[in-house]
């Protein structure tokens, strides 16, 4: 019975998933923290677009603002793509106008 389910699942996946040429390429982004001393993200997270990674960075900054006991104006999160290029920088405790 288990072998039959395996073949049925494989057949379903073949019909209902895209081919490798149609798949959306994912890129790994790293979220480095810095408050004078850099702390590099060694793991990273995959996103389809730069915009998705930037939204995630803004959510991280909000999380740090909400849970922080300090108001460190130098604390920032840098979004770095898999090529090592910084694509966005978000200060955690500064107004966006600053």
What is the three-state SS of 34-54?
ECCCEECCCCCEEECCHHHHH
Res 24: pLDDT:
62
Residue 74 pairs in a beta bridge with none
pTM here is: 0.69
For the stretch 59-88, pLDDT in tens is: 999 998 888 777 788 899 999 999 999 999
**pLDDT confidence band for 94 (50 / 70 / 90):** confident
């Amino acid at each position: 019975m288990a072998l039959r389910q395996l073949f049925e699942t494989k057949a379903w996946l073949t019909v209902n998933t895209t081919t490798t040429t149609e798949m959306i390429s994912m890129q790994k982004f790293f979220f480095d923290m810095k408050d004078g001393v850099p702390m590099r993200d060694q793991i990273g997270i995959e996103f389809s677009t730069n915009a998705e990674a930037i939204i995630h960075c803004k959510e991280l900054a909000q999380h740090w603002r909400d849970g922080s006991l300090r108001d460190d104006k130098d604390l920032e999160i840098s979004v770095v793509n898999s090529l090592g290029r910084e694509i966005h920088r978000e200060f955690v405790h500064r107004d966006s106008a600053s």
